[in-house]
Amino acid sequence: MQLKTVEALLTEIALRRVQLSPYRFCANPSCDVVYFGDASDRFRSQDIRVPVWHKEPPGARLLCYCFGETEAVIRSELSQRGRADAVDRIREHIAAERCACDIRNPRGACCLGDVIAAVTRIQLELAEGSMNDGGLTNLPDR
């Protein structure tokens, strides 16, 4: 984790506590710590300027901090058109060298893998929901 990522995303008050030591990112959703350092210092969700999607409940989380792609947009596109174009949009921006994931994304890395995983997860959720809504689970016992 680059120190510039941590510094860019901390609130003004939290920034006063930064040490010049390495930090690591915690993606565990049940843990409120976002960054932790070698000096036993920790920064929690409330110390970060943006919502950290790993720490937020699923549904409408912001996944792409550079271009604003969210779970809600992906779900809407999949529901309405059967496909989501978030991955293609992000790839176009990457090809045009417009992303700043190393600074904007709290994880300090490209979000593309996270967005691809979210598209797959939401596709599965919608497919499971349509199977349940189709009356398949309400068939009489024979």
DSSP 138: G
pLDDT in tens, 9-67: 999 999 999 999 899 999 999 999 999 998 889 999 999 999 999 999 999 899 999 99
CATH architecture assigned to 1-49? Single Sheet (2.20)
Asked if residue 139 has pLDDT above 80, the reply is: no
How deeply is 134 buried, as exposed, middle or buried, from its count of CB atoms within 10 A (0-12, 13-18, 19+)? exposed
Whether pTM exceeds 0.85: no
For 51-134, CATH number?
1.10.10
Map out the domains of the chain as residue ranges.
1-49, 51-134
First and final C-alpha spacing in the chain? 58
